[in-house]
Amino acid sequence: MVQGQQQPELAETGTGEVIRELPAADVYWGTDGHILWLNRDIGQAVLIDQDGRTVRRQELPPDLPLQSVLQLAPS
């Protein structure tokens, strides 16, 4: 995970090659090499694998104040 010129990017650590751009700055490391990021625009938490493929999407509660500080963690 690196900060690109416009947005966060998932990059290969050995080469620096960008695997995928992430459209959100709220990114959290998960287990088994997965990355969890919060998409505030659509109100979802998105789990991706190391290749940038979406593994799972989870709707966030509609009454959750998305402008406030929110921390996510894998269970």
Task: Give me the residue label for tokens 């709220």.
Answer: 26
Q: What is the pLDDT of residues 44-71, one digit of tens each?
A: 888 888 777 889 998 988 787 766 666 6
Report how far residue 24's alpha carbon sits from residue 15's, in angstroms, rounded to the nearest whole number.
23
| 43 within domain boundaries | yes
Cα atoms found within 13 Å of the Cα of residue 3, Cβ hemisphere only: 2
- Structurally, how many domains does the chain consist of? 1
| 72 within domain boundaries | no
| 39 within domain boundaries | yes
| 8 within domain boundaries | no
pTM score, whole prediction: 0.62
Q: What's the token pair of residue 6?
A: 């416009």
Find the domain containing 43 and state its range. 24-66
| 75 within domain boundaries | no
